[in-house]
Amino acid sequence: MKEKYLKYRKEVHAAALWLSEHGYFGSLRGSGGNVSVRIDSENSMAITPSGVRYTDMTDGDIFVVGFDLELLEGRQGLKASMESEMHSAIYRKRPEVKAVVHTHQTYGSVFSVINMPIPALFDEVALSLGTLIEVAPYAFSGTSELARNVEAVLSGGANACIIQNHGIVALGASLDQAVLNAELLEKTAKIYHLALSSGKRLTTLPAEAIDIIEMIRKPADAQ
Ligand SMILES: [Zn+2]
C-alpha cells in the first residue's frame, strides 16, 4: 500500500463509518451506499469497497481506483464499490468536486419513490446544495446508465440530487462538506415531507432570494 494514499483511505473510512452510524445507509448491518474522495493531482479516487459491512471495514479495505476505473490499489478478494463509475463520472464532469457521498437515507429516499424534486425552501441550504434538488431517472444499481443519468442531473452545478427509487448523491469541495450536504438534504427532505403531510399551503423561497443565491453560487469565471 502506498503511503501517499493512506490519508485518503482513513478519510473515506471515517466518513463512511459516521454515515453508517447515523443511519444514512438505511441499514446498520448492510453495506449499501458508498463514499469517495478525489486524490489530489491524480485522475483517481479512494472509494469504499463493495459488500463490506461498515462496522467490519478497515482503512486497508478502501480502494484506489482511476477515473478510467483502473484498479490502482485494493485488497485481494474484495471489489471496489459497484458505483465507482458514477463517482468517476461526477469527478470528470465537475473538477471542483473533491468528494462524493451516495446514501440510502430515509427522507431523501421518500422523494426518490414519489419521484419529486425538492425546491429551495431555506436560503442556507440552497446556497450549499443549489436551488433545486432534482431527481435522476432510475437505472439499475451499478450500471453505466445510472452513472450517465446522475452525471447529467449534476452537470448544472447542484451539490446534491435524488436518484429515482434508490437514494441520493451529495457532493462537496471536501469530504466533510459532502457529508454535511447529505445531512442538509436529509433535514430539508424531512421538513418538506412533514410540511406536505400537514395539508397546509407551504411557501418556497421568493424569486428574488433565488436570484441572489444563483448569483452567489455561480463560478467566478462565469460572472
Ligand atoms: Zn445505492
Residues 18, 179 contacting (CB under 8 angstroms): yes
* Domain chopping of the chain, boundaries: 3-222
pTM of the model: 0.95
Q: Per-residue pLDDT tens for 82-110?
A: 999 999 999 999 999 999 999 999 999 99
Kindly give the interhelix angle for 6-21 and 175-197, rounded to the nearest 10 degrees: 20
Instruction: Kindly give the distance from the C-alpha atom of residue 41 to the centroid of ligand 1, in angstroms, as a whole number.
Output: 28
Q: Does the active-site annotation cover 11?
A: no
User: Which of 11, 83, 85, 186 does the annotation list as catalytic?
Assistant: 83
Instruction: Kindly give the distance from the C-alpha atom of residue 211 to the centroid of ligand 1, in angstroms, as a whole number.
Output: 33
Domain 3-222 belongs in CATH node 3.40.50.2300: no
**CA atoms in the 13 A half-sphere facing the CB of 10:** 6
Q: Is 69 left (phi over 0), alpha (psi -120 to 50) or beta?
A: left
Instruction: Kindly give the distance from the C-alpha atom of residue 32 to the centroid of ligand 1, in angstroms, as a whole number.
Output: 6
Instruction: Kindly give the distance from the C-alpha atom of residue 166 to the centroid of ligand 1, in angstroms, as a whole number.
Output: 6
Instruction: Kindly give the distance from the C-alpha atom of residue 191 to the centroid of ligand 1, in angstroms, as a whole number.
Output: 23
Q: Per-residue pLDDT tens for 162-203?
A: 999 999 999 999 999 999 999 999 999 999 999 999 999 999
